[in-house]
Amino acid sequence: MVVRVWGAMVVGIRGLLIEVEADVSTGGLPSFTLVGLPDAAVRESRERVLSALRHSDLTLPPRRITVNLAPGHVHKAGAALDLPIAIGLATAAGHLPHEASSQYVLAGELSLGGDLKPVRGVLSMAIAARAMGRKRLIVPEPNLAHALLVPDVEVYPARTLGQVAAHLRGEAVLPLTRGGAGSASPHVAVQSTLDLADVRGQHQARRALEIAAAGQHNVLFVGPPGAGKTLLASRLPSILPPLTREEAIDVTQIHSVVSPTAFGGRLVDTRPFRAPHHTISDAGLVGGGEMLRPGELSLAHRGVLFLDELPEFRRSAIEALRQPLEAGLVRIARARGVEEFPARFQLVAAMNPCPCGHYGDTRRECQCPVSRLATYRARISGPILDRIDMWVYLRAVPARELTADGDAESSATVRNRVLGARAFRTARRRTSPTGARLGGIAALRVDTGAAEILTRAIDRMGLSARSHRRLLRVARTIADLAGSERVRRDHVAEALSFRAIDPLPQRPGAVAAAQ
């Protein structure tokens, strides 16, 4: 008899239901055949499943065993199909009732002794199961919290294959928990141990972080070693608004695909802060691999991506930032298909002004040859700089500022201003001219005098249309922070201060003169 049960796996970050067909027949020699484009991990499930069945008193007879995983055109990967394969075989062998086995979506990796281990992407699987009208899930106990984030599903956590078998036979029912608990709250709690008050001096950089948080702008910090670039970047999440529940589930879904125990297996309640090392591969940064997994760009979704020592990253990895910075997603095409991963993050990049780090430092002389300086500068292309809204040059903090009395503004104080600016922007957009697009003069309400200053500055600086749009957005954010309906001259002037001077040396003659 052919038995059909339901399993689930993850493709990219999407959940996909898999129909597991199991047949235990008397004809032919004893064998075990697994079909349906399984990868190595799925093929190896044969040994795990047979051993787990034996240790759970569900031993299969020595017969011809065939397991088919449908749809057949999709490559099957991972160990999440262990549990449905085992239940399918136990049902086909007569140990379990077919009617009960077919009512659930099953997911879990099996140990040789029959214990259930957590698997990646249970949140995505639960979302897919609900979309297909199958709202009963049996998952490993450590995956329970992620499955419960999906409303209107019934989740049964289990620790062993024997518990699942006893539940399906009606002998010992697994505890039922319904998903969606607490979903009425629009926000989730946010708690950061880092505080902007730790930053001494660097008033312009602190102001840049506030503007970036209010308007979701990208920032480049350039300065000598020890100026506080990393310290500033790590404090940006502490002044960002808390995640809404929808955003938190969105972030949790991505992280659960990478690790089943990410953030303790619970809902992500803080904005991600990802700081990959500059030796990271392109696939590690952007995403990819054999089964198309999300990379650091997607893991920073709804949060902050910090690239320290930006010129030290591979040129191909840096250039791969172009599409995500514009579209907020990563599109990866491989022979097995095309996947899109969300990647709407704030980029904070940091670098030294030169290889030795002391170009422009009044206390120490730069020792970099002109040729090396030019090579270092060329590692960051114009199109990438064009996509960064604000460039901030950091000077070394004087000793008197490091030891000065008085407390700097805390993250809570700055975050309140950020929340106020975002609320002001939301209210302003409700009264924007019909059909006006973000970036247009009408929608951003730029004074005539301010627009003229911006036009002259852009002509003089030779900036692109993209730079013009980004400068307008920064100026509009500054106006929102000030509670101004119109973008005035002083708002444009401050926005230009973050783009008027390229902080990276470009003319070898100027470098030689400085040396």
284 and 159, same structural domain? no
92 and 119, same structural domain? yes
Residues 6+ apart with CB under 8 A from 143: 107, 108, 118, 119, 122, 157, 260, 265
Q: 386: part of which helix (H) or strand (E)?
A: helix 382-386
- H helices present in 274-321, as ranges: 282-286, 296-299, 315-319
Confidence of residue 500 (pLDDT cuts 50, 70, 90): low
475 and 343, same structural domain? yes
219 and 112, same structural domain? no
* Neighbouring C-alpha atoms within 13 Å toward the C-beta of 447: 15
Residue 125 belongs to some domain of the structure: yes
Residue 515 belongs to some domain of the structure: no
Out of 26-40, 204-218, 456-470, the most confident range is 204-218
Confidence of residue 128 (pLDDT cuts 50, 70, 90): very high
Other Cβ atoms closer than 10 A to 429: 11
214 and 161, same structural domain? no
Query: What is the rounded average pLDDT of the residues 108-124?
Result: 96
Residue 335 belongs to some domain of the structure: yes
C-alpha 200/C-alpha 486 separation (Å) is 33
Residue 427 belongs to some domain of the structure: yes
pLDDT of amino acid 337? 75
Out of 148-152, 160-164, 498-502, the most confident range is 160-164
As for how many domains the chain has, the answer is 2
- Can you give the pTM of this predicted structure? 0.88
Instruction: Assess contact for 125 and 9: CB atoms under 8 A.
Output: yes
Residue 465 belongs to some domain of the structure: yes
Q: pLDDT tens-digit profile of 388-410?
A: 999 999 888 777 777 666 678 89
209 and 66, same structural domain? no
Q: Where in the sequence is the domain holding 356, given as residue range(s)?
A: 196-398+409-497
Give Cα 265 to chain centroid, integer Å: 16
C-alpha 296/C-alpha 274 separation (Å) is 7
Indicate if the alpha-carbon torsion angle 94, 100, 104, 110 is positive or negative: negative
SS3 call for 220: strand
Confidence of residue 301 (pLDDT cuts 50, 70, 90): very high
User: What separation in angstroms does the CA of 99 have from each of 59, 73, 88, 291?
Assistant: 20, 27, 12, 34
Percent of the chain clearing pLDDT 70 (strictly above): 91
User: What separation in angstroms does the CA of 280 have from each of 27, 29, 274, 283, 314?
Assistant: 53, 50, 12, 8, 8
277 and 134, same structural domain? no
135 and 24, same structural domain? yes
SS3 call for 452: helix
317 and 218, same structural domain? yes
Residue 513 belongs to some domain of the structure: no
Give 30: exposed, middle or buried? Use CB within 10 Å, 0-12, 13-18, 19+: exposed
**Taking all residues of the chain, what is their mean pLDDT, rounded to a whole number?**
88
- CATH code of residue 158: 3.30.230.10
Q: pLDDT tens-digit profile of 428-463?
A: 877 765 433 444 555 678 888 888 888 888 888 878
174 and 203, same structural domain? no
Q: pLDDT tens-digit profile of 258-287?
A: 988 777 778 888 999 999 999 999 999 999
Largest CA distance in the chain: 89
Residues 6+ apart with CB under 8 A from 126: 15, 137, 146, 147, 149, 150, 153, 155, 179
Could you say which of 152, 178, 204 is where a domain stops? 178
Q: Is the pLDDT of residue 507 over 50?
A: no
Could you say which of 150, 178, 206 is where a domain stops? 178
Residue 512 belongs to some domain of the structure: no
Could you say which of 121, 144, 178 is where a domain stops? 178
Backbone angles phi, psi at 110, to 5 degrees: -105, 140
224 and 123, same structural domain? no
* Neighbouring C-alpha atoms within 13 Å toward the C-beta of 58: 29
pLDDT of amino acid 457? 83
pLDDT of amino acid 504? 59
Q: pLDDT tens-digit profile of 207-230?
A: 999 999 999 999 999 988 888 899
345 and 256, same structural domain? yes
SS3 annotation, 145-209: HHHCCCCCCEEEEECEHHHHHHHHHCCCCCCCEECCCCCCCCECCCCCCCCHHHCCCCHHHHHHH
- CATH code of residue 287: 3.40.50.300
pLDDT of amino acid 513? 39
Residue 311 belongs to some domain of the structure: yes
Q: Would you say how long the chain is, in residues?
A: 515
